[in-house]
Amino acid sequence: MPQLQAFNLCYQHGNGDVVFNDLSFSLTAKVTALVGRNGCGKSILASILAKQKEPSSGTVVCNSTLGLYRQMNDINQVENQTIAEAIELEPVFNALDAINQGHVTEQNLMLVEGNWDLAERFNAELVRLGVNNKTPYSLSKHLSGGQLSKLKLWALFTCIKPDILILDEPSNHLDAKGKSWLIKQIHNFKGQLLLISHDQELLEQAHEVWELTTLGLTRYGMRFSEYQAQKQQQVAALENKLNHVVKQQTNLKKTEQLEKQKAQKRASHGAALRKLGSQPKVLMDAKKDKASANLSSQSKKTAKREGMLTSNKHELSSQLEQTKAQQFYLAQSDEAKHQKTLSLENVVLAHGTQKPINFQVFSDDKIHLAGANGTGKSTLLKTLTYDIPVKAGQLHCNQALYYLDQHFTLINNELTLLENVMTYCKSLDESTARTLLASIGFRKDAVFKHAALLSGGEKMKLAMCIVSNIESTAFLLLDEPDNHLDLESKQLLAQSLQGFKGGFILVSHDKYFVESVGCNRQIGL
């Protein structure tokens, strides 16, 4: 019998927007991948399965211990937490401390069971991550995003060890070494695993794929690469069906027009005969009534057929909307100028690498900023915007810089999507702003949704839309913009950055994404 089952799950926001409806499923494979567009409800579903959020209706049955790794969408969630709190091991550390001080209770013994050497293993893990002078009670904000992510995953896999593990975007912030370690942990995990991710390398570890859309949950009993191939076939089939329906509509209109022309011709002929008086009036009236009846019957049949075709067209268009690629627009300057934007002379960062940094950046440079977790990539970007002062050296900036961080601090959760765009992008009128929002999937009344209701991927798309349209001459500092984005959005963003006439510095650990962007320089920390 499956250990995790869901029956008729529904969830809607407080404003009445339905996220998903009537989902029923059982977790049976060892590793299951859950994929879907940003905002379709994957993270909400994960929280419901872990009993951390209540569904609007429906039930979840779990007969095993379950652990959840949650993506970090809000930096305020961990800003003032200790490392022990952030990795959800604070009760175990506290119990160990209490036992060492002589408070040996049944509850403390239960908490510590299997983790008597936790302190030693924790310190060894810090050394492996290159973290110095930290304890479980140090603030987690002093770790990089990648270091904290690795520690949270380490705690789940080696200390908490649940029977079922749900991983929500676990590779976000991880460098290549961290991702390799994660893949090894997935292989060695003894229980069942539900993997929510947009990372192709990670998704290939799954034995079957589930896809969540507004149409529901579809189960594909196959590997991810096979699922992708089948999706491409589905798109092609839907496009063929839609083209066939459009062709039928065109032919129906042509036929309807011909019938009207024939009826008009017959009516004209009848009127001419009536005028000549060559046929009895009773016969002429009967012919006229029969022609009118035939025309009315034909019109009703045509209208019914047209209604069916229109209904089919709407249904196919809706299905195609769920599978076919969207668009992603970045602002473009009229002409990219090659002028010096940044100059660093023997700059020493406040955190991360302590080696002096020397380089120059020009306005049309497309730079990949590479380096392992903890080397100071985010610190460098914040230093360039003067948010963090240099420890030593000289920094010169000659152009407006716009920093897009990993935690979407740019976005005001109290404002709607449209208000966020209009607040930052002063040169845009409302019509243009709505067109831009439509290009990233927010159409019609969706622009009036409050930003607090957005998923991580939706927030990243909104933030990317804002920073790229604040002004056309801006130089962008992009700190892992591909994190949280669904596969389709990653590809679209990569294409847009590749065609972007301005310059940027990009931090990303996704080799597929970096290759797709087409950077012309790399700077390594």
Domain ranges in the chain? 4-230, 233-323, 340-524
**Cβ contacts of residue 357 below 8 Å, gap of 6+?**
344, 346, 347, 348, 349, 380, 393, 525
Q: What is the DSSP letter of 520?
A: S
Strand partners, 25: 6
Q: What is the per-residue pLDDT for 316?
A: 59
Strand partners, 479: 507
List the CATH code of the domain at 4-230. Answer: 3.40.50.300
Report yes or no: 199 and 508 within 8 Å, Cβ to Cβ. no
Sign of CA dihedral 420, 422, 425, 430: positive
- Three-point CA angle 154, 148, 505, nearest 5°: 130
CA 41 to chain centre: 10
| DSSP labels, 14-79 | TTS-EEEEEEEEE--SSEEEEE--TTSSHHHHHHHHTTSS--SEEEEEE-S-EEEEPP---GGGTT
Q: Which two tokens stand for residue 165?
A: 């593990």
Report yes or no: 34 and 132 within 8 Å, Cβ to Cβ. no
CA–CA separation, 277 and 524 (whole Å) = 98
| DSSP labels, 458-484 | HHHHHHHHHHTTS-TTPEEEEESTTTT
Strand pairing of 18-26 and 521-524?
A: unpaired
Strand partners, 450: 416
pLDDT, tens digit, 9 for 90 and up, residues 276-329 = 666 666 655 666 666 666 666 676 776 777 777 677 666 656 665 555 545 555
- Three-point CA angle 318, 324, 325, nearest 5°: 130
**Amino acid found at 333:** S
CA distances from 430 to 225, 463, 471 (A): 41, 17, 16
CA–CA separation, 186 and 205 (whole Å) = 8
Q: What is the per-residue pLDDT for 331?
A: 58
Q: What is the per-residue pLDDT for 480?
A: 87
Report yes or no: 316 and 343 within 8 Å, Cβ to Cβ. no
CA–CA separation, 390 and 416 (whole Å) = 36
CA–CA separation, 366 and 382 (whole Å) = 18
Q: How many residues does the chain have?
A: 525
* H or E, element range at 382: helix 377-384
Q: Which CATH code of 3.40.190.10, 3.40.50.720, 1.10.3720.10, 3.40.50.300 fits the domain covering 340-524?
A: 3.40.50.300
Nearest to 275, CA basis, from 284, 266, 265:
284
**Amino acid found at 156:** L
CA–CA separation, 73 and 317 (whole Å) = 32
Q: Which two tokens stand for residue 366?
A: 């497309």
**Cβ contacts of residue 129 below 8 Å, gap of 6+?**
147, 150, 151, 373, 374
Task: Let me know if the fold of 4-230 is the same as that of 340-524.
Answer: yes
Strand partners, 233: none
CA distances from 277 to 73, 135, 280 (A): 86, 110, 7
CB-count exposure of residue 98 (10 Å: 0-12, 13-18, 19+)? middle
Q: What is the per-residue pLDDT for 183?
A: 95
CA–CA separation, 228 and 493 (whole Å) = 19
Q: Which two tokens stand for residue 325?
A: 């690629």
Nearest to 497, CA basis, from 471, 522, 464, 466:
464
Residue ranges of the chain with per-residue pLDDT less than 70: 1, 72-79, 263, 266-267, 269-297, 299, 302, 309, 312-337, 471-473
Residue recorded with tokens 């032919």: 251
Nearest to 411, CA basis, from 49, 92, 74:
74
Nearest to 2, CA basis, from 45, 32, 22:
32
CA–CA separation, 339 and 134 (whole Å) = 43
